[in-house]
């Protein structure tokens, strides 16, 4: 992201919402998020060493992270999706 592409939340909301982090165990918890120097800083007292992030990863999330042009950030995840294992009853 370039210097002119700053992150922001609407003035009515002081921090990004719908952000979750997980540790090595893969259990996601809501994160405390804030914007600091054009970077989203995440933390949680439950997750000491985060390995994955999800933003707005839900059926009807609250999306309140925007760039300075007012365009919203798309929902994303940094963890890899685990493919479903084939059923033993699958037709071959």
Q: Token pair for residue 34? A: 């804030």
Residue for token digits 């994160």? 31
Domain ranges of the chain: 1-57
- Tell me which of 90 and 80 has the higher pLDDT: 80
Would you list the DSSP string of 2-33? -TT--EE--TT-SS--SEEEE-TT--EEEPEE
What pTM does this model have? Answer: 0.73
State mean pLDDT over 3-30: 81
Question: According to the model, what pLDDT value does residue 19 have?
Answer: 97
- Please list, in sequence order, all residues whose beta carbon lies within 8 angstroms of the beta carbon of residue 50, skipping any fewer than 6 positions away: 21, 22, 23, 31, 42, 44
Q: List pLDDT tens digits, range 19-68.
A: 999 999 999 999 999 988 888 999 999 999 999 999 999 999 999 999 88
> Phi/psi zone of residue 50: left (φ > 0), alpha (ψ -120 to 50 degrees), beta?
beta
């Amino acid at each position: 992201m370039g210097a002119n592409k700053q992150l922001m939340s609407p003035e009515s909301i002081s921090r990004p919402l719908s952000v979750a982090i997980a540790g090595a165990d893969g259990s996601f918890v809501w994160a405390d998020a804030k914007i600091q120097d054009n970077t989203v800083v995440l933390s949680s007292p439950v997750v000491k060493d985060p390995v994955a992030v999800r933003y707005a990863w839900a059926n009807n999330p609250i999306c309140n992270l925007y760039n300075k042009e007012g365009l919203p950030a798309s929902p994303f995840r940094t963890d890899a999706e685990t493919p479903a294992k084939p059923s033993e009853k699958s037709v071959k």
